[in-house]
Structure 1
Amino acid sequence: MLWKRARRPLAVGAIAVFWLLAAGWLTAPLLDLAQPHEQTVQPARYAPRTAIILLGGGTRYDHDHVLVPPHDVLARITVSAQSYAACKRSAASCQVIVSGGNPQRHSATEADTYLPYLLRDQVPRADIVLENTSRTTYENARNVSSILGRSRYDALILVTSAYHMPRALLDFRRFGLEPQPMISSARRAQLGVLPRYDNLVSAETALHELIGIGQFYVYSAMGWF
């Protein structure tokens, strides 16, 4: 009897939440919580030995069943290549460290999939370091930290999307690293009346990052991180 009485309010509430997410009105504040309010304003500070860290964000199959980077990752690749070009104009040594394994179990790792795009953007293969075993952002930070420990760098630049940057910085700081954040792109909700699929994707992304940040603090308090 209690379930019968609650069914209608629950159904109405679920529909209302779905519409608020799909129409952008609830997605917008979620993105505001997940993404830094300020984009990268100050230009990157390059040093004689600079490492540009490109974080992976998955892979997908296109219509021809070819494994390619998602749209957000294409922006990360472009910004990393642009940063490399700027670095070479003022620094003696510049490297791009591409960090991303194969958590989706596709035919290739993220790092290996992104490599041809960096080469196409005029980043020499000799200046690209592939870290292709990490499956999470925490493992990105841990594995890159190990690479950095074998070489001396004077400046670190971290390239990823706005929604991913807060959690990524937490993980890198966990390993004693303080990279300069360089945001490649940000997500924006499209407010309106009609539901939009992109708003649902953005809401899921924001929730994933917020939960990940909460998980970081819980695991740190428990001594797991």
Structure 2
Amino acid sequence: MILFTLLALFFAVIVLWKRARPLLTIFVLTAFWLLAAGWLTAPLLKLAQPPRPGDAPASFAPRTAIIVLGAGTIYNDDDELVPPVDMLARIAASADSYAECKRAAATCEVIVSGGNPQKHRATEADTYLPYLLRRQVPRADIVLENRSRTTYENARNVTAIVEKSNYDALILVTSAYQMPRALLDFKRFGLAPQPLVANTRHADLGLLPRYKNLVSAEIALHELIGIAQFHVYRAIGWF
């Protein structure tokens, strides 16, 4: 949506500003090619996914909660509601972390946070549940939070769950591009979970445009704008 909105704005400017039309058209086409070919998408992803060399492996405590954030849902070719690729990586990372946790701690739970912002047939959390069960996470150790529509609401609603359970350690599982904003949102509610990156996006550099690069650019812009929005809202007292 962000790229589409920018393209629509540029098109409106091109239509209204006749004198600059040739230069603006060249600029828009060049920017689109740089994004689609990965050359502009790569630095955007680098900004959205800062390296975290200081991150240590997750440490478990007697009561540990593994928080996994939703990444939407999609319909497959059979019209079934399924997790997207990035979410499958988050599910795998949280299940692996759960298995490690059970070897080291008395209580380990996975909190799955995701409502239904896309207005699909089911919420994100409910859609992800069978995938966690297939990865040997018992239903008794899964807590579903299925009302959140944004990362901010993920943090707010999960905080309400955490405050009732007296966990000793929190581990936050999400993709690299969402982690900086997610940590900001959780910090807003007084939580500092250990970050566990499930997957990282990369640009495919080349001469030919690739749809994947446009998707990655959209995701990076969404996160960067979201971080800026967080700081603006905090400054004016909305968050």
TM-score, L = length of structure 2: 0.92
* Separation of aligned partners in 2, 1:98 and 1:44: 18
Count of residues in Structure 1 that have an aligned counterpart in Structure 2: 225
* Separation of aligned partners in 1, 2:64 and 2:229: 31
Match of 1:116, SS? helix
Identity of aligned residues (%): 72
Which of 26, 32, 35 pairs up with 1:18? 32
Which sits farther off after the overlay, 33-42 or 135-144? Answer: 33-42
Q: Which amino acid in 1 is paired with 2:215?
A: V
Q: Which amino acid in 1 is paired with 2:18?
A: K
Match of 2:124 in 1: 110
Q: Deviations over 1:137-186 (max 9, x none)?
A: 00000000000111110000000000000000000000000000000000
Q: Which amino acid in 1 is paired with 2:162?
A: L
Match of 1:70 in 2: 84
Match of 1:136 in 2: 150
8 A Cα contact 1:40 1:182, kept in partner: no
Residues 1:180 and 1:98: Cα distance change in structure 2 (over 3 Å): same
Q: Which amino acid in 1 is paired with 2:141?
A: D
* Separation of aligned partners in 2, 1:89 and 1:47: 11
Match of 2:22 in 1: 8
* Structure 1 ranges of 4+ moved more than 3 A: none
For residue 36 of structure 1, report the CA deviation from its aligned partner.
Answer: 2.3
* Separation of aligned partners in 2, 1:119 and 1:52: 15
Match of 1:204 in 2: 218
Query: Unpaired runs of 5+ in structure 2?
Result: 1-14
**What is the RMSD of the two structures over their aligned residues, measured on CA atoms?**
1.3
Match of 1:175 in 2: 189
Match of 1:96, SS? strand
8 A Cα contact 1:60 1:67, kept in partner: yes
For residue 4 of structure 1, report the CA deviation from its aligned partner.
Answer: 2.4
Q: Which amino acid in 1 is paired with 2:170?
A: L
Query: Unpaired runs of 5+ in structure 1?
Result: none
